[in-house]
Structure 1
Amino acid sequence: MLHAAALDGQMTDLFSQVGVVVFYLAVWGLVFAGTGLFVGAFIPFLTGDSLLFASGIVTAATPELSIWILALGTGIAAFIGDQVGFILGRHLGRPYLEKKSGPRMMRIIVRVEAFYNKYGWWSVVIARFIPWARVFVPWVAGIGKMNYYKFLTSNLVGALAWGVGLTVIGYFAASIPSVKTAAYVIAGFFIAASIFFSIRTWILERRDRKNSAASEA
């Protein structure tokens, strides 16, 4: 009986640890995919600010999770994602974006190019906090042949401010009793908005592609 109880306790601990690892990997994977795999173009809110804020809140409510592991990993995932976007933009060029994007996305890309040309180094940092810019600025910087080391530094600053910063803010917002209720309400709002706008973006992009194909036929 004692052996069975001990085994049951070990299994519970194992499943708890697996859940922790899955949570970390899910958050980091979504952050990376947002720019590195272009996923943020279709589900910008599900891979953006709301994810980071909500993950910090969940960590505050879950003793098994570490905010510093989560935040550091999120920062690294954000950094690598933008680096991949920059390299792909440099090697694949604008024709690739034009081929893969519908009319609506192309209008966004034009806005991003103007944004990048205006702010240069700072555009990479600022874009982290703008859903439509976060995905495309690394690509545009790569297409524009931005100096690699300049992009490296701006990407690092942006990843720390956005990836680490928002995650930690969500954690401490939920950790302070006086603002905990408000933090949960805000997180719930952002998550609901994430789902709504992600579906809306996907529908609009699909409709634009169909209309574009019909006009070319």
Structure 2
Amino acid sequence: MTSFLDPVIALVSAYPWLAYLTLFLAALLEAIPVAGALVPGSTLILALSALVPGGELKLWGVIAAAIAGAILGDGSAFWAGHRAQRRILNAWPMSKYPGVMAQSETFFHRWGTLAVLFARFVPPIRAFVPITAGALGMSPAVFFGVNIPAVLAWALAHVLPGVLAVSALHEYAGLPHDQGTGKHLWILAVFAAAIIALGVWTLRRRRMGKPPSD
């Protein structure tokens, strides 16, 4: 994996527009069924986010590219399932991965609407739950109402660790860094914490509303 990432990082650090395009495509492909299980999208996003503290890339550009790619990928998969209905779950190339498809459907039935939120953080079913949700009849309003906040939390969870870690390295090692980055990190960290807290609160409320099992 390192031998693959090193030349990619070297290239995109020299051409920022290519870095943003790579981030967009990484997030997009990671959300597409089958491709998402093969493309190291999360690894690329985490690695490229490490270029933010040095000023090679802009924090908001990195986050925006990741969010746009993930929403487009998830949305495309959902609409494909919504249009074709259940028959798409047994079509090629999903038919080549019956185990993952079964796991995705079980995950969806277990968690319902929250599956769209949780799947964003659970590879490899992350790439299969949106198409499953569409195929099993989830409404577009419900899907995107959950998916968009999930993508925002996912993007922050992938970008901020790399930025914070390298920012600390720049700070304590005396390396040059972008002074404008640090002042935005606490805002994003609070925003990410709020989304996570909302998810936990929703999960607890859902569990409390369930009747006790025999």
TM-score when normalising by structure 1: 0.67
Deviation track 1:55-81 (CA, whole Å, cap 9, x = no partner) reads 2113334x2310111112211211121
Q: Kindly indicate whether the alpha-carbon contact (under 8 Å) linking 1:74 and 1:164 is maintained by their aligned counterparts in 2.
A: no
Pair 1:156–1:102, CA change in 2 (3 A): closer
- 1:39 equivalent in structure 2: 35
Paired residue type of 2:155: G
Asked if 1:98 is matched to 2:90, the reply is: yes
Map of 1:163 onto structure 2: 155
Task: Show CA shifts across 1:21-53 (max 9, x none).
Answer: 011101111211222475213x15x12x32222
Unaligned ranges ≥5, structure 2:
1-10, 174-214
| CA distance in 1 between partners of 2:171 and 2:143 (Å) | 37
Any idea what SS the aligned residue of 1:100 has?
A: coil
Equivalent residue for 1:172? 164
Task: Number of aligned residue pairs: give it.
Answer: 163
**8 Å contact 1:35–1:81 — kept in the other structure?**
yes
* Distance in 1, Cα, partners of 2:45 & 2:19: 12
Q: Summarize the alignment of residues 100-119 of structure 1 with structure 2, pairs less than 5 Å apart.
A: 100-101=92-93, 105-119=97-111
Amino acid at match of 1:21: W
Q: Does the alignment pair 1:25 with 2:21?
A: yes
Larger radius of gyration: 1
Is residue 2:87 matched to residue 1:87?
no
How far is 1:102 from its partner?
6.7
Give the aligned partner of residue 52 of structure 2. 59
Q: Secondary structure at the match of 2:124?
A: helix
Provide the alpha-carbon RMSD of the alignment: 2.7
Gaps of 5+ in 1: 1-14, 182-217
Q: For residues 138 and 180 of structure 1, do their structure 2 counterparts lie closer, same or farther at Cα, with a shift above 3 Å needed?
A: farther
Which has more helix, going by share of residues? 1
Matched, 1:144 2:136: yes
* Separation (CA, whole Å) in 2 of partners of 1:169 and 1:127: 20
Q: CA deviation at 1:171?
A: 0.9
* 1:39 counterpart letter in structure 2: A
Output the CA distance in 2 between the equivalents of 1:112 and 1:54.
28
